[in-house]
């Protein structure tokens, strides 16, 4: 939705407006967000100088990244660029060699329990307990987050209906297809209403109906005020769904912003921009020849 406030010429959001938990936000002159009373809105996800070394190899090089309430931000890059490594550091599965991560204002290294209680994560290949049913899996997740059992029962059934899993909720997860596992993992990640949601290739292997369902759900989650960071190789999804994108290559952020900013006045698609930045001009020529 376009912002009702005057467009700020150097606004990094291109004056996008976010409605998060019934609070109206507008862009400030630095590209951050302001509420109606002009108080600064802090990001839910914030990484500063995030670095990961493996011996003498720098896998991730000083990544700075922020995601605000109500945003869906795409995290793009070629294979081996550092996307999954960065996401694992952002959720606390991997300790950074340098840099800091804050989730909802909590330092992930110094306040891990408070920070992790606010986030949800769905990997590209969800490894779920095969000897549990999806209902048992949701109860297990509820125990990890110390949720009220009565609330969990109602919330869990809503999620099962939402993801069209009710009819098979008492079957073992080991019998589920990849797409059904993906939906079960997302239901588990959403059970505690996370403020920050991280997804690594959420639509890989899904049929068009399931992929569409997940896109609609992500849009609704963002409208409720969550911050969503998703990596994907499907640039069309990023182009249609994301407010902003970060492009990483060889461990470094090489571009970020809205599609309009990345185009810089041209009519290029996100695919054209991505190939020009990460694949060199020869890759763009090949892509054009194949159209």
Tens digits of residue pLDDT in 177-200: 988 999 999 999 999 999 999 999
> Which pTM was predicted?
0.82
**Residue 199 or 271, more confident:** 199
State both tokens at 190.
Answer: 């959403």
Angle subtended by helix axes 149-162 and 134-144, to nearest 10: 130
Q: Largest alpha-carbon pair distance within the chain?
A: 58
β-pairing verdict for 119-122 and 106-107: unpaired
The full set of domains in the chain, from first to last, is: 1-41 (no CATH), 44-257 (3.40.50.300), 258-291 (no CATH)
User: Distance (Å, rounded) from C-alpha 170 to C-alpha 191?
Assistant: 18
Average pLDDT of span 153-160: 93
* Arithmetic mean of pLDDT over the chain: 84
For 72, residues 6+ apart whose C-beta sits below 8 A from its C-beta are: 218, 219, 222, 228, 230, 241, 242, 243
State both tokens at 247.
Answer: 């492009």
Model confidence band, residue 76 (pLDDT cutoffs 50, 70, 90): very high
Average pLDDT of span 212-238: 92
Tens digits of residue pLDDT in 19-66: 333 344 455 444 455 544 334 789 999 999 999 999 999 999 999 999
pLDDT higher than 60, residue 4:
no
For 157, residues 6+ apart whose C-beta sits below 8 A from its C-beta are: 166
User: Distance (Å, rounded) from C-alpha 208 to C-alpha 259?
Assistant: 24
For 2, residues 6+ apart whose C-beta sits below 8 A from its C-beta are: 15, 16, 17
Tens digits of residue pLDDT in 248-269: 999 999 999 998 898 886 778 8
Mapped onto helix, strand or coil, the DSSP state of residue 1 is coil
In the chain, % of residues over pLDDT 90: 62
């Amino acid at each position: 939705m376009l912002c009702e406030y005057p467009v700020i010429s150097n606004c990094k959001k291109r004056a996008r407006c976010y409605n998060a938990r019934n609070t109206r936000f507008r862009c400030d002159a630095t590209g951050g967000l302001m509420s109606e009373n002009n108080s600064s809105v802090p990001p839910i996800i914030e990484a500063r100088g995030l670095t990961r070394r493996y011996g003498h190899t720098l896998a991730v090089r000083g990544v700075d990244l922020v995601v605000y309430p109500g945003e869906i931000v795409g995290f793009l890059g070629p294979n081996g660029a550092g996307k999954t490594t960065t996401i694992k550091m952002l959720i606390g599965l991997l300790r950074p060699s340098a840099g800091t991560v804050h989730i909802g204002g909590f330092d992930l290294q110094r306040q891990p329990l408070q920070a992790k209680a606010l986030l949800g994560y769905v990997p590209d290949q969800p490894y779920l307990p095969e000897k549990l049913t999806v209902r048992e899996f949701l109860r297990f997740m509820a125990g990890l987050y110390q949720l009220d059992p009565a609330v969990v029962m109602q919330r869990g059934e809503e999620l099962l209906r939402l993801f069209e899993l009710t009819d098979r909720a008492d079957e073992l997860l080991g019998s589920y297809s990849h797409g059904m596992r993906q939906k079960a993992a997302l239901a588990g990640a959403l059970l505690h209403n996370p403020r920050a949601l991280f997804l690594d290739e959420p639509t890989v292997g899904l049929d068009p109906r399931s992929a569409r369902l997940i896109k609609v759900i992500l849009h609704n989650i963002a409208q409720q005020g969550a911050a969503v960071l998703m990596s994907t190789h499907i640039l069309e999804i990023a182009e249609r769904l994301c407010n902003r994108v970060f492009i990483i290559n060889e461990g470094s952020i090489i571009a970020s912003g809205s599609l309009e900013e990345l185009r810089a006045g041209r009519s290029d698609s996100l695919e054209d921009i991505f190939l020009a930045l990460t694949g060199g001009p020869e890759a763009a020529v090949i892509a054009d020849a194949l159209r």
